[in-house]
Amino acid sequence: MGPIQSLNFIVTGLLGLTFAVGLRRSINGSRGGTWDPILMGIYGVCLIVAGIAHPDPHHGFPANAPAGLPAAPTAGAGIHSLAFSLLAIAIVANGLVFARRYWASRRPWAIYSMANSVVILALVSIGSALLINGQGGLPLLGVAVAISSWVSVLAGRTLNDASDPLVPDR
């Protein structure tokens, strides 16, 4: 992982932590007001950790890296993988908590949150299984897109809710 990607993970993690604080202030006292900010904070912390701890070079990436997987992964690679796994679990759980939050009042948003959680789980599973052969990049890229788009939409939805005094979830 190069320095630009490391910086990307760290900055995105800091934005996730900032969003967690905003969620706490915005939805505190309402359904999901406890767990959603906590799960978003876990996502942010795990992204920062993943940006600091680097995976081992493998399957030809970066250039001139060995063709296969390393025989014994380094501690940094283990920490990176654990952080990625925990952030995926936190986002999936957050999607399910938000689905519960919106089930009665905004059913399409609840369904989107649940579907996105299922897609993330499926792509992580497929990507992890294919990673052994060096083919897991595309599904794992899909995970990144699914997570980033859901977090962005969630931010917009929460901002919209905060400006609506008639939100029935409160």
Per-residue pLDDT tens digits for 71-104 = 777 888 889 889 988 999 999 999 999 899 888 8
Tell me if 167 is assigned to some domain. Answer: no
Q: Which CA distances in Å does 36 have to 22, 23, 71, 127, 162?
A: 11, 7, 39, 26, 15
Tell me if 170 is assigned to some domain. Answer: no
Tell me if 130 is assigned to some domain. Answer: yes
Distance, CA of 76 to CA of 141 (rounded, Å): 21
Tell me if 13 is assigned to some domain. Answer: yes
**CB-CB neighbours of 42 under 10 Å:** 20
Distance, CA of 104 to CA of 49 (rounded, Å): 36
Taking every pair of Cα atoms in the chain, the longest distance, rounded to a whole number of angstroms, is 58
pTM value? Answer: 0.81
Tell me if 80 is assigned to some domain. Answer: yes
34: exposed, middle or buried (Cβ count in 10 Å: 0-12, 13-18, 19+) = middle
Total of domains in the chain: 1
Tell me if 37 is assigned to some domain. Answer: yes
Tell me if 83 is assigned to some domain. Answer: yes
Instruction: Give residue 14's domain range.
Output: 3-162
- What pLDDT digit, counting tens, does each position of 98-131 carry? 899 888 888 998 999 999 999 999 988 888 788 7
Q: Where are the alpha helices (DSSP H) in 55-136?
A: 75-102, 107-131
pLDDT recorded at residue 162 = 61
The residue length of the chain stands at 170
- Among 151, 136, 134, which Cα is nearest to 67's? 134
Tell me if 169 is assigned to some domain. Answer: no
Q: Is the pLDDT of residue 58 over 80?
A: no
Q: Is the pLDDT of residue 66 over 70?
A: no
